[in-house]
Structure 1
Amino acid sequence: MPNGNPPSSPLTDSFLPDFCGTRMVFVVVIAAELLAVTLCLARLPAAENPWLGLALYSLFIQWCALGCTAVLCLSRARLNRLNDKSAAGLAYLLCLLTCYLISEITWLIFQRWLGFTGIFSSTHGMFLAQSMGISAITTALGLRYFYVQHQLRLRIRSEGEARYQALQSRIRPHFLFNCMNTIASLIRRDPRKAEQAVEDLADLFRAALEDGRQYCTLREEVDLCKRYLNIEQQRLGNRLAVSWDIAALPDDLTLPALCLQPLVENAIHHGIENLPTGGTITIRGERRTLYASIIVENPLPANGSAPASGHRLAQDNIRQRLASLHDLSDPLKVSAEHGRYRVTLTIPYDHEDTDSRR
């Protein structure tokens, strides 16, 4: 994901869903069957054989519904290139044309070849008028439903992106404040290290603020953390040690920008700094079927109490950012045991979905 933009989605291309997918085909079949049941119930008092009527209604409506689904699937590429109005008009005409052809074929098979009337009207014209009228109404309602759902999802997404940007903007001043304090402590004691820290900070912010992006690759986030650790290393010296073990994480993993660095920052300011002899921060990765986890551990002070306010500010921020981008119940887990403070960051990982984020 070189450009770090948020993942793309068919929602932004067309309001029409993917009619080639099995899930949409299943929805169409269920909706068509519900329509068949509704029409059969409407004719129930006058029906001689309601079960036969339901079977014929189901057969005819399923032909029309699946035929329209197949046509929209085959026309997907062209429809996605059109604006919403043109796509809706073309989809509507294609569906009506498909229903007309299926109605003609159905009349030909059942009336002329089999001599079976069943549910059909006495005249050809009346049968076409009924089938095309119902097709026109149900198709219009379906397209309207897809459009309203599309607009609703776009609005939810735009609100989520605005909320994400607001949460991310809260991290950057806090991050800058801590880095400047670190550099200030080096100016009198070691000007050369302070100069190097300023250069690292400039490189770090150039990477962090590039394009105002939401996502970054794992390598970019790790590099940003290492630049920040270089700044803190100048101040803490041998008191700060870092152990990296992220070989288990996939190379194409993408994650929200600036979600790992604040956790490392907390581990230093609320863990290592409070220990006279310092300690080791452990950063390791774990891979599961649909998720990847990054665990950040740091030693606790002698009293064993985990800091509250400082940790919670960054953790709540990251938790809200992840919740606005991913449907996860608990994307950030925290525990304190055996003298170690552990934060586990969980990120969805679907190898097939990574192409849409590039």
Structure 2
Amino acid sequence: MNPNASIDSDLLPDFRNMGVLLRILVFVHLALFVYTLIGLGQWQAWPDNLAASVLWLEFSLLPAVLVLGLANPLLARLDYSRGVAATCVLVALAGTLGHWVLMPGPVNVNALAASAVVIVASALTLLKYFHLRQRALSPRLSEARLAALQARIRPHFLFNSLNAVLSLIRYEPAKAEQVLEDLADLFRVVMKDNRQLSRLDREVELAKRYLNIEMVRLGSRLKVQWNTENMPGDAAVPPLMLQPLVENAVYHGVEPALNPAPIEVHVFRFRDQLHLDVKNPLPPPDAVREHVGNGMALENIRERLLLHFDAEATLTTQAASDYYQVHIVVPYREIAHDDAASPFFGG
């Protein structure tokens, strides 16, 4: 995708995304099955006709999908109309080549031309579907962003932070000033348009600023273990993904306990995936709070992961006797510069 494109711009699908590939495979195979049934002269001949059609399809589809995957970074730099044209040219060439490999010998121009027309028509139909789906998802992402905004501005956090600043102004003015700066930076990020992906190092810094504010109020009770030695700072993640998790960890695991265990944050890359773990202690049974913020935040993050990365992202939770853990896995996508990037729509 164009790193500076708006989420409301027309974008080609990410041809390396598993959700996109699955949709392409399902669509073309269903279309082929229906086409084979419609063209049957005798019902008894459908296995042979379907087998011949599938053989042609695989030799045309697989090269086209491979070429699109390899050319995906180049296609992402084109505007939408040129990207559509380039996609059609690439799939026509790759599919025609596969058709020629399947039926070597003297070149049948009419057969190859017919094959190219079918391939281009199928590509345009799929691109139109992905385009409509992107348009349908954009309002949902705006709604998810609004829900994230509402969930993040908790009155108790703002009031507690301001009270902590008031207690510091007379005796530790420099520290009070730093807390106000962290609070301003935090709310500046929360209030801006967060519909684009963000660099992971920026999200970690935001979470640390939030924890600095809470440490003023909670003191030595709040302990955080960061394990980020293998963290790819340039990884693309949804904004406001990590800070809500550590906020929930503080609210549910630290505040109710007198001597809580540390919050553990693990961020690392394994192969082509980014893993993020947030683990917090569970409070004593008599201190459990009736608060839906944890579920709201997790559902909001899960929805934004789905909208940005489709089937390639997962969010799982685990509750044991003494801890609660959230584990997020997203495909590793690089944001080379410190600017936010457009979402890698799954299509």
TM-score by length of 1: 0.61
Tell me which residue corresponds to 2:188. Answer: 206
1:298 aligns with 2:287: no
> Deviation digits for residues 86-128 of structure 1, max 9, x if unmatched?
949x96xx89xx99xx9xxx99879xxxxxxxxxxxxxxxx97
* Residue 337 (structure 1) aligned to one of 316, 321, 330: 321
1:275, distance to aligned residue in structure 2 (A): 2.2
1:304, distance to aligned residue in structure 2 (A): 7.3
1:228 aligns with 2:210: yes
* Residue 302 (structure 2) aligned to one of 319, 328, 336: 319
Amino acid at match of 1:298: P
Which stretch shifts more, 262-271 or 26-35? 26-35
Q: Which has the higher contact order (CA 8 A, sep 6+)?
A: 2
After superposition, the Cα gap between the structure-2 partners of 1:334 and 1:317, relative to the gap in structure 1 and judged at 3 Å, is farther
Tell me which residue corresponds to 1:187. Answer: 166
Q: How do 1:37-52 residues align onto structure 2 when only pairs under 5 Å count?
A: 41-42=40-41
1:12 aligns with 2:28: no
Amino acid at match of 1:164: A
* Residue 346 (structure 1) aligned to one of 316, 320, 328: 328
Greater Cα radius of gyration, structure 1 or 2 = 1
CA RMSD of aligned residues (A): 5.6
1:83 aligns with 2:65: no
Tell me which residue corresponds to 2:237. Answer: 255
1:31, distance to aligned residue in structure 2 (A): 9.4
Tell me which residue corresponds to 2:141. Answer: 161
Q: Distance in 1 between matches of 2:27 and 2:293?
A: 51
1:215 aligns with 2:197: yes
1:14–1:83: 8 Å Cα contact kept in structure 2?
Answer: no
Q: Distance in 1 between matches of 2:147 and 2:287?
A: 30
1:201, distance to aligned residue in structure 2 (A): 0.8
After superposition, the Cα gap between the structure-2 partners of 1:135 and 1:42, relative to the gap in structure 1 and judged at 3 Å, is farther
Q: Distance in 2 between matches of 1:147 and 1:173?
A: 39
SS of 1:183's equivalent in the other structure is helix
Amino acid at match of 1:283: V
Unaligned 5+ residue runs, structure 1?
111-126
Amino acid at match of 2:237: L
Q: Distance in 2 between matches of 1:25 and 1:318?
A: 26
TM-score by length of 2: 0.63
Q: Distance in 2 between matches of 1:266 and 1:25?
A: 39
1:244, distance to aligned residue in structure 2 (A): 1.4
Tell me which residue corresponds to 1:242. Answer: 224
Q: Distance in 2 between matches of 1:271 and 1:295?
A: 12
2:215–2:222: 8 Å Cα contact kept in structure 1?
Answer: yes
User: Among the aligned pairs, what percent are the same residue?
Assistant: 26
Amino acid at match of 2:215: Q
2:222–2:262: 8 Å Cα contact kept in structure 1?
Answer: yes
1:178, distance to aligned residue in structure 2 (A): 1.0
SS of 2:250's equivalent in the other structure is helix
Amino acid at match of 1:270: H
Q: Distance in 2 between matches of 1:315 and 1:33?
A: 40
1:135, distance to aligned residue in structure 2 (A): 6.5
1:145 aligns with 2:145: no
> Deviation digits for residues 300-343 of structure 1, max 9, x if unmatched?
236475765343233333233333333268514141423xx323
Amino acid at match of 1:318: I
Amino acid at match of 2:317: K
1:160, distance to aligned residue in structure 2 (A): 3.5
Q: Count residues in correspondence.
A: 315
Unaligned 5+ residue runs, structure 2?
342-347
After superposition, the Cα gap between the structure-2 partners of 1:295 and 1:136, relative to the gap in structure 1 and judged at 3 Å, is closer
